[in-house]
Homo-oligomer: A and B are copies of this chain.
Amino acid sequence: MQEIKRRSQKERSDTMRAALVAAGRDLFIRNGFAATGTPDIVAAAGVTRGALYHHFQDKTDLFAAVVEAEAEAIAAEIDASGSIGLTPRETLIQGGEAFLAAMRSPGRARLMLVEAPAVLGVDRLARIDAATGGRTLELALQEVGIEAPGPLAALLSAAYDRAALAIDLGQPPGPWRAALNHLVRGAIR
């Protein structure tokens, strides 16, 4: 009868881990990493700090899990809006639009583009979104015939990041989209 007591270990563990990640995501987005204490997180999840330190090595490790989950969510949203049968340069522009759309989830830009590099380090974060879907831009540039697409992809990605941040901070998206289009079209000639 009591299905609460009948949960398997793995199921219990998975839901708890997910609850901690969800609570952490919420608070990290609202207050940032430094201003969010582990007591706040576990209180929001309705547990104690023992649960947190059982599932994660430390607070940074939980944050990394939040960032990874967020990166996967972003990649999934972008993939979902990926229209097929476009020219390479159309794919480029459309992928950028999809990125901006995915980044309009409130606070997501600050979490992924400001907090994450500072907390996890630039290289570690780069590895995370390389593991999810960060190389699509590079491949698209290669399609349109750029010789060394790596650095240029990183630069354009940085430009998109900056635009997403500005929009997340409340600025109107129109001028940023226009400037991005200008930049991309100039880059692929």
Q: Show 8 residue pairs from A and B whose CB-CB distance is below 8 angstroms, ordered by the A residue.
A: A114-B122, A117-B118, A118-B118, A150-B175, A151-B175, A155-B159, A155-B176, A183-B187
The A interface is mostly helix, strand or loop, or mixed, namely helix
Using Cβ atoms and an 8 Å threshold, which residues of chain B touch A151?
163, 166, 175-176, 178-179
A148 at the interface (CB under 8 A from B): yes
Binary interface encoding of chain A residues 42-86 relative to chain B, with 1 for a CB under 8 A from any of its CBs, else 0: 000000000000000000000000000000000000000000000
A127 at the interface (CB under 8 A from B): no
A118 to chain B, nearest CB (A): 3
Which residue of chain B has the shortest Cβ distance to A168 in the bound complex? B122
Cross-chain contact of A165 among B33, B122, B178 (Cβ < 8 A): B122
Using Cβ atoms and an 8 Å threshold, which residues of chain B touch A180?
155
Cross-chain contact of A179 among B32, B119, B152, B175 (Cβ < 8 A): B152
A166 vs B154: C-alpha distance when bound (angstroms): 10
